[in-house]
Amino acid sequence: MKHLVLAACIGAFTLTTAGVATAQDPATKAAPAKKAPAKKAPAKKAATTETAAVPHGEKWQCELGHVLYIGGNMQRDEVITVNWEGKEYRLPRLSTVTGADRYFDARSGLDLVVIPSKAMLFNKNAGQRLADECQTADMQAGGSAPTQAGALRAPVATPLLVAPPAPAADAAPKP
């Protein structure tokens, strides 16, 4: 008897849910209008060419054929513009205890470290070095980096510890 009542309940439930499902199908499945596929490939190419920034600033040639462009005055500006692989990044200056100039943007993860002999570009988010041994044409000719650290560095020809000049021997002593 229990099986008969249970089977009747399951059958009634199945009929009511099947009736509701079939009644909702025509309402929810109104003839879907097919849309013509839009030409997305040319639109994406146009968008990428518009977002690719034209490099401006001073060209820094790096090892392995990498090139970056730095816009702004590195001796006085607090924010510089770095063009790396067709994209522009604004990197604010960070103070360091070593004397190196460091520019870091937490959002993009780009970290530019400039010492008098070269510059290095890191991606802190990915944990990798992007470019190394980056130098301007002036640096390749023997100059120093156009940075605060480079401006503070004494020329190589002038030693930092120089003894004061000795008095001339033929000068007469004062009475």
Q: What is the percentage of the chain residues whose pLDDT exceeds 70?
A: 54
Does the residue 6 lie in any domain? no
Number of domains in the chain: 1
CATH code: domain of residue 116: 2.40.128
Does the residue 127 lie in any domain? yes
Nearest CA among 86, 79, 117, 81 for reference residue 100? 117
Does the residue 67 lie in any domain? yes
Give me the amino acid identity at 20.
V
Q: Return the structure tokens found at 19.
A: 């009736």
What local confidence, expressed as pLDDT, does residue 162 receive? 55
In 3-state terms the chain splits into helix, strand, coil percentages (rounded to 5) of 30, 25, 45
Does the residue 15 lie in any domain? no
Does the residue 7 lie in any domain? no
Taking residues 135-142, report their average pLDDT: 86
Dihedral angle of Cα 83, 84, 88, 94, to the nearest 10 degrees = -80
Does the residue 85 lie in any domain? yes
Tell me the pLDDT tens digit for each residue of 61-111.
Answer: 999 899 999 998 888 889 999 999 889 999 999 988 887 889 999 999 999
What local confidence, expressed as pLDDT, does residue 102 receive? 92
Does the residue 20 lie in any domain? no
**56 pairs with which residues across the strands?**
none
Q: Return the structure tokens found at 164.
A: 């004061």
Residues of the domain holding 96:
55-152
Does the residue 25 lie in any domain? no
Nearest CA among 110, 150, 116, 18 for reference residue 10? 18
Q: Return the structure tokens found at 79.
A: 């924010």
Residue 169's pLDDT band, with cuts at 50, 70 and 90, is: low
